[in-house]
Structure 1
Amino acid sequence: MILEHIAQTVSEDTTKIIGYPVSISDSNGYLIGVSDPKRLGIFDKLLFKVVKRKELIYWGNEHVQNLPGIFPGVAAPIIVNGKVLGAIGIVGKIKKNEETDKYIQLVKNHIEMICHESFKKEMNSLEVKALDTLIHYLLHFDSNNIEYDLKHITRYGEMLGYDLTIKRICIIIDIDTLAINESRTHHNSLSLQQIQQELLEIVRYFFMSNKQDIFGQLNFEQFGIFKFMNSEESDIEFIKRIESTIKKFNQHLNQKYNLYAAISIGDSKSGIIGMKQSYQNASKALIAGKKTTIDPQVYHYNNWDITLEILSNELPSDFFNNLSQDLLPLINHDNFSTLATTFLVYCKYNMNLSKTARNLYIHRNSLIYRLEKIKELTSLDTSNFEHCLLLYLVIKQHKNLDGASTKGMETIRGMRGQI
């Protein structure tokens, strides 16, 4: 199958290089690559003889006089991984000497190398598809038919050589599509597919260190890895090791493609259900982490800052709707962006006025004025932790904060005297 795909191209290209017509047959002796397309499909008895005998053979005019469409020359079998795929013949090279032997061996080796590389790529492609299928099963099994699905997934994993009962932790690598497209503008010679393939290889190189690691592409932007957890290594030691790997990975990504990946880490779990939970938690950490200013962009599910962000994401929408109604005077205020940013920084520095003012580059009195303004608009006491927690959750959740959290810090320094 592989030889049939490349035979005609190899025949034409090799004929141009060596100056002699080149014929290639399949394992049944039928021509699949010839310099004269009219001969395609002809049964070549002599090439078939080469396939059967698995050895180099010369033949002269006397051998082909009763074989129409067949010409004298020299031929050798094409063998890949111990299997004879067909035969290669050089028409017109009938004199048995060292030069002819080199010609045929060179062409034979060239074709075998191409077939071997094509076979390797095909096997890698099949392996990738099999792993993608396994990951799909792991992440989308039917909870209503769980017993049957778990048995099916376990068998499929065993077939691929994976023990799905052991402890693993999910890592999600997220590379923004826009960033990939921007990278292409700096690498005009690379197609999107080529960059995607190279990214696959880079992720595999940096993160695949154990045969029980399961790796696949989750979607166009994301790669998923279920890392094997060694029982002799604590979770803390593992995280430190992975953080070191992530740092090297992102440095390489930045140097080669001017890209940077956001990476989330779930929690360690055992079994198929545990792997799905670890993935779900890594996904929550990624969504929550992107709303924070954590840098570098490595988000741990067990990180307390991420946990708080996840909590705000998972609280019922009615809770926020009701609170937002009560806080409309603040939300609709012209300076909501600045007030919201001020309050978040105030919370970040543990409600410490001096530290907050210093990090906002404003006078302490200006900070107190803004907090008093918030109190006036909301009736919430900004010196009360419980009141601050409610306001913090609403502000973090509110859609207008997308601009407030990023632009607020950029403009706040120029607004010291306005509020």
Structure 2
Amino acid sequence: MELKPKLAQSIVDHMMTQIPYNINIMNKKGYIIASGNKSRINTLHVGAVDAIKQLKTLPMDQQYGNHGQPGVNMPLKFKNEIIGVVGITGDPNKVTPLASLLKTAVELLLQQKQENEQEHEIEKVKQRFIYRWLNVSKYQDPQLDSELVEEANRLNINLGKQRCVIAIAGSSQIIKNLKLDQETIIFSLTNRIELIILSSKHQEAYIQQKLEHQEIEYGISNWGNLLGRLAEQAVTTLRLSNIFGKPSFRYYSQISFVKQVLDSDLNLIAVNDQYEALLKRKDGKELIDTIREFIKCNMSVNQTAHNLFVHRNTLSNRLLRIKKLFELDPKNTEDLFQLFIGYITFYYRQTL
């Protein structure tokens, strides 16, 4: 462990708000790397050199030239190795207790810093593994990949366990407020989507309850062991629920039929082009909203007009405009189906 000047100076600046004496921190060669007196930085501290050589705390009762003043110097140790010295300027009888506390605080801080760095590195390794796991398990059993299995064993992850994935729209801050068990895994898929990978139905119910309470958008996959496929299911559910405007669509099982239709590659170029053109029209948004609401209301004119806060005649006028633009009649079931699938296809591709 090397004592970095930036960290050392931050410690000095903070501690000097609490201690009415100048504080110096020296590296293992005795040079001052942090101080309340910035003019002393990068100068040799003779008291620190002596403390390092003698491997013990040394009080300095008098001033030694320009580079040594009365005070006390205590070697800093990390894993039984001297990595520097902490010193406080002043009467040794007064500052020695403070120096002792400061030495302990710095050593504990350094230990915590290393532990945090180790945890961060382990988390980076785990995130890289999950990325591989997601990609491998889109189409095949991850247990067939010997390298993946070996890495999973090192991370104490059971690849064969049944799991479920919850895709959340938002930042990791949302997840920090959840009480998750040790087997639950978090993965940042994109800047806007977080995945919660869990293996407990109890955790699924708990997380869903919390997300509903906070009105957070999410999608839940089926249960299985092909993690990549489960992640796709969760994300697809999240995206389609936004397109439908139906937050009640939370589970992949609720939208699996629509996903199959999307994957069937229907020839809807003309319909999609018209949706694209609508976005450029002044009345485009209101017509698109009308199509969506008319579908949600199962072709009920009264309910659609009520939900859109418009008169029946206004709605009828919009439906006529839609019919003319798309050459599809929203009041005809087959034509409405094309409008419906075209709407989903167009907006689903916008979210990819």
Aligned to 2:84, what secondary structure does the other structure show? strand
In structure 2, the residue matched to 1:136 is 131
Output one character per residue of 1:43-79: Cα deviation in whole Å (capped at 9) or x when no partner: 94432156x45xx454556xx98x9956664233435
Alpha-carbon contact 2:166-2:234 (below 8 Å) kept: yes
Q: Is the 8 A contact 2:167 2:218 kept in 1?
A: yes
Which residue in the other structure is 1:301 paired with? 252
Task: Establish whether residue 87 from structure 1 lines up as the match of residue 85 from structure 2.
Answer: yes
Kindly report the root-mean-square deviation, in angstroms, between the aligned alpha carbons of the 2 structures. 4.8
Q: Say yes or no: does 1:263 pair with 2:218.
A: yes
Q: Which residue of 2 aligns with 1:22?
A: 23
Q: Name 2:235's counterpart in structure 1.
A: 283
Other structure's SS at 2:211 match: helix
2:51 corresponds to which residue?
A: 47
Deviations 1:331-351 (A, max 9, x none): 9x9988777655554443344
Opposite residue 75 of structure 1, the aligned amino acid is: N
Q: Sequence identity of aligned pairs in percent?
A: 19
* Amino acid aligned to 1:316: D
Question: Which residue of 136, 149, 155 corresponds with 1:154?
Answer: 149
Would the alpha carbon gap of residues 224 and 366 (structure 1) be closer, same or farther in structure 2, given more than 3 Å must change?
A: closer
Question: C-alpha separation between the residues in 1 aligned to 2:51 and 2:237?
Answer: 62
Is 1:212 the equivalent of 2:183?
yes
**Alignment CA distance shift 1:278-1:370 (3 Å):** same
Q: CA deviation at 1:278?
A: 0.9
Gaps of 5+ in 2: none
Q: Conserved in 2, the CA contact under 8 Å of 1:264 and 1:285?
A: yes
Residue correspondence of structure 1 range 6-405 to structure 2 within 5 A: 6-11=7-12, 18=19, 20-26=21-27, 31-34=32-35, 35=37, 36-40=40-44, 44-49=48-53, 52=55, 56-58=57-59, 60=61, 73-79=71-77, 85-95=83-93, 99-141=94-136, 150-175=145-170, 200-206=172-178, 209-227=180-198, 229-230=199-200, 233=201, 239-248=204-213, 250=214, 261-270=216-225, 274-295=226-247, 299-304=250-255, 307-316=256-265, 319-321=267-269, 344-352=292-300, 355=303, 359=307, 385-386=333-334, 388-397=336-345
Q: Secondary structure at the match of 2:177?
A: helix
Q: Closer, same or farther in 2 for the Cα pair 1:221/1:84, shift >3 Å?
A: farther
Quote the Cα distance in structure 2 between the aligned partners of 1:41 and 1:142.
Answer: 59
User: Residue type of the partner of 1:289?
Assistant: S
Deviations 1:182-238 (A, max 9, x none): xxxxxxxxxxxxxxxxx53541331x51111111322333322212x23xx4xxx66
Partners in 2 of 1:24 and 1:148 — Cα distance?
52
Instruction: Quote the Cα distance in structure 1 between the aligned partners of 2:293 and 2:26.
Output: 75
Mapped partners of 2:222, 2:139: distance in 1 = 25
Aligned to 1:4: 4
Distance 1:43 1:315, change over 3 A: farther
Deviations along 1:121-158, whole A, 9 cap, x unmatched? 43443344233322322234498999899333333333
CA contact (8 A) 2:211 2:217 kept: no
Q: How many residues are matched?
A: 342
Q: Is the 8 A contact 2:139 2:229 kept in 1?
A: no
